[in-house]
Amino acid sequence: MEQNISQRAVFVFFIALFCIAIVLAGKLLAPFFAIIILGIVSTGIFNPVFRFFSKQMPPKLASVLTCVLIFFVVFIPVVFFVGILSKEAFDLYVMARDAVFSNQLKNLLASTQALERFNDLLARAGIVKTVTWDELIRPISDLGKLVGFSLFEQARFFTSNVFNLVLYFCLMLIVVFYMFIDGDKFIKYMYDLSPLPDEHDEKLFGKFVDMAGAVLIGNGLGGLIQGVAGGTLFLFLGVNSPFLWGVIMGFLAFLPILGIGIVMIPTAAILMLKQRLAAGIFVLVFYAILSWGIEYVFKPKVVGDRVSMHPLIVFFAIIGGLKAYGILGIIYGPLIATLFLTLADIYFTSFQFMVEPGKVLKEK
C-alpha cells in the first residue's frame, strides 16, 4: 500500500514537472510559432518536389534544392507584390480620404433619381425622415479609407522591416529543410509522446495535412487564379487600382458563400448605372463562370474529397481566424476548426461511452 502511494506521488510530481517543462518550452517557441506552422505547411506543399529530387540525389542535397526553389517561387514574388500593393493601397486611401470616389458614386446614383422615389414612398407612409446619398455612401467611403490605409500600413511594415522579413523567411526555410530530412522521425516522436492511440494520432495528423492542403493548395491556388483573373478584368475595363482589387479578390476567394462576389456584383451594378450595360452583364457572366469553375471543377480536382467541412463552418473559421490572428488566420482558423471537429469525432467513436454510457446504449 505504501509503495503504491509512493509511486503515485512520484507520478504526480513527474506530471507536474513535465507540465512546467511544456509551458517553458512553449514560451521559448512562442515567438517562432507562426514560422514553425508555415514551415510545416510549406513542407507538405513542396513535399512532392522534394521526393522528385530525392530520387536523383542524396536527401540533404534534395532538401537544399527544394528550399532554394521555395525562395525563388515564394519570396521574390512576395517582395515584388508588396511594392505594387503599397502604392495602389495608398492611392485608394487618398481617393477615399478626399472623397473622390464617393463624389463620383453620389453623382452617378443621383442621376438615377432612385432616392427621390424612395423618399416619396417614405413620405406617403408617414415617415418624415429623408434619406440622402451622403448617408448611404459614407460607410463605403469609410470602408475604402480603412481598407486602403490598413493594406498600406501592412505593406509599409514589410518594406520597412526587410531585414526581419528575410530573417523570418530564412528561419522558415531552416524548418522546411529539417522537416524534409527528419520529418518522419518528428512525427513518430509526437505519436510516441501522445497518450492517444496511434490510430487517433494518425487521424489527427491526416486531417491537419488534408486541411492544410485544402487551404493553401486548393483555396490558395483558387484565390490566386481568381485574383489574377479579376485584376486582369478590371485592368481591361479601366477600373482604378486593378492590382489592389485583384489582391482583395484573391483574399475574398478564401471565403465560401460570398467570395469575390462582394467585389464583382457591385462592380457590375455600377457599370450598368454608367450605361455600360454590356460590360456589366459581362462582369456578372465572368464572375459566375469563374466561381463555378474554381468551386466545382478546379478544387475537386486538386483537393478531392479528403476534406469535408460545412461551408458555414469554414466561413466563420476564416472570419474568426482573421480577427484573432490577422492575415495568418486564413490558415489558423480552418486548422483550429479541424482540430475541434476531429477531436469531437474521436470522442463520439471512442470516449463517449465512458462519459454517457446510457446515451450510447440507448442509441444502439
- pLDDT score for 47: 83
Q: Looking at the predicted structure, is the pLDDT value of residue 30 above 80?
A: yes
Instruction: Please tell me what DSSP assigns to residue 296.
Output: I
CA–CA separation, 209 and 263 (whole Å) = 31
Taking CA atoms, 211 is separated from 47, 185, 219, 312, in Å, by 16, 22, 10, 15
Give the model's pLDDT for residue 356.
Answer: 67
Whether 296 contacts 286, CB under 8 Å: no
CA pair distance 328, 342, nearest whole angstrom: 21
Q: Please, are residues 255 and 219 in contact by the beta-carbon 8 Å criterion?
A: no
pLDDT at 157 over 80: no
Average pLDDT (149-177) is 72
**pLDDT confidence band for 129 (50 / 70 / 90):** low
SS3 letters for 142-185?
HHHHHHHHHHHHHHHHHHHCHHHHHHHHHHHHHHHHHHHHHHHH
Using alpha carbons only, what angle is made at residue 12 by residues 6 and 13, rounded to the nearest 5 degrees? 90
Closest CA to 212 of 35, 321, 330: 330
Q: Count the alpha carbons within 13 Å of 264 in the hemisphere toward its beta carbon.
A: 27
Residues with Cβ within 8 Å of residue 46, at least 6 apart in sequence: 66, 69, 70, 176
Ranges 134-148, 214-228, 296-310, 333-347: which has the least confidence? 134-148
**Which of 353 and 187 is assigned the larger pLDDT?**
187
Q: Please tell me the predicted confidence (pLDDT) of residue 165.
A: 73
| Residue for grid cell 515584388 | 80
| Res. 15: pLDDT tops 60 | yes
Please compute the mean of the pLDDT values over residues 47-74 and round it to a whole number: 87
Q: Give 145's contacts (C-beta < 8 A, 6+ positions apart).
A: 93, 96, 97
Question: Domain map of the chain by residue range?
Answer: 28-193, 196-364
pLDDT for the residue 109? 55
Alpha carbons 351 and 364: distance in angstroms, whole number: 15
Q: Which of 229, 211, 171 is nearest to 330 (CA)?
A: 211
62-93: per-residue pLDDT in tens?
A: 999 999 988 888 777 777 666 666 666 666 65
Integer Cα distance of 292 and 298 in angstroms: 9
Which residue type sits at 103? N
Average pLDDT, rounded, for the chain = 75
Q: Which range has the top average pLDDT, 54-68, 70-84, 130-144, 341-355?
A: 54-68
Instruction: Please answer whether residues 346 and 230 qualify as being in contact, where contact means their C-beta atoms are separated by less than 8 angstroms.
Output: no
Return the minimum-mean-pLDDT range out of 238-247, 311-320, 332-341, 348-357.
348-357
Q: What is the pLDDT of residue 361?
A: 46
What is the length of the chain? 364
Return the pLDDT at 136: 54
In terms of Cα–Cα distance, which of 82, 81, 99, 84 is closest to 145? 99
Q: Which of 130-144, 190-204, 218-232, 301-315 has maximum average pLDDT?
A: 218-232
pLDDT for position 29: 85
Query: What is the pLDDT, as a whole number, of residue 217?
Result: 72
Has this prediction a pTM greater than 0.85?
no
CA distance readout (Å), 105 to 180, 206, 238, 280: 53, 50, 16, 16
According to the model, what pLDDT value does residue 76 have?
75
In this structure, what DSSP letter does residue 324 have? Answer: H
pLDDT over 50 at 347, yes or no: yes
Identify whether the C-beta of residue 206 lies closer than 8 Å to the C-beta of residue 69: no
**Residue 212, burial from CB neighbour count under 10 angstroms (0-12, 13-18, 19+):** buried
pLDDT of residue 316: 83
Residue written as grid cell 514589410: 158
Nine-digit cell at 37? 506552422
